[in-house]
């Protein structure tokens, strides 16, 4: 559930970003946050959106010990990535995006915490 929450929060961040003045014009000009939009950037964001949804599925299907390790590793990576997004949003005074991305960070930290504290079953 936390993976889905984090995924939706990140997607909400992207939707709210479109409401910021000048963003749509920049996108139409081929730029996103000061970077030229290239296929690799689009792939990167697609992965950022897909992995949490995939993790929601894998959390239900992987063996317990593997699931626990994967949730700790991937949850930590995404907490760091999204925390960078929060810092960027705060520096840009983009408060709605900062709030949504911060909620994704909290969900990721909770994923890691729950996986870490769960009993180690082999």
CA–CA–CA angle 73, 42, 47 (5° rounding) = 20
Query: Could you write out the three-class secondary structure of 64-104?
Result: HHHHHHHHHHHHHHHHHHHHHHHHHHHHCCCHHHHHHHHHH
Q: Is the pLDDT of residue 25 over 70?
A: yes
User: Over the chain, what is the mean pLDDT?
Assistant: 91
Q: What is the pTM of this model?
A: 0.85
Confidence of residue 120 (pLDDT cuts 50, 70, 90): low
Tens digit of each residue's pLDDT (9 = 90 or more) over 66-87: 999 999 999 999 999 999 989 9
Q: Are 10 and 104 in contact (CB under 8 A)?
A: yes
Around Cβ 12, how many Cβ atoms within 10 Å? 17
Q: How do the domains of the chain map onto residue ranges?
A: 2-117
Q: How many C-beta atoms lie closer than 10 Å to residue 79's C-beta?
A: 20
């Amino acid at each position: 559930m936390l993976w889905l929450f984090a995924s939706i929060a990140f997607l909400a961040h992207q939707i709210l970003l479109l409401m910021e003045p000048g963003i749509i014009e920049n996108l139409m000009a081929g730029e996103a946050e000061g970077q030229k939009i290239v296929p690799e950037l689009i792939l990167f964001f697609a992965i950022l959106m897909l992995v949490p949804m995939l993790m929601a599925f894998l959390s239900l299907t992987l063996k317990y010990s593997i699931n626990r390790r994967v949730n700790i590793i991937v949850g930590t990576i995404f907490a760091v990535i999204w925390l960078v997004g929060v810092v960027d949003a705060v520096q840009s005074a983009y408060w709605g995006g900062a709030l949504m991305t911060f909620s994704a960070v909290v969900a990721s930290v909770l994923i890691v915490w729950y996986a870490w504290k769960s009993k180690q079953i082999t």
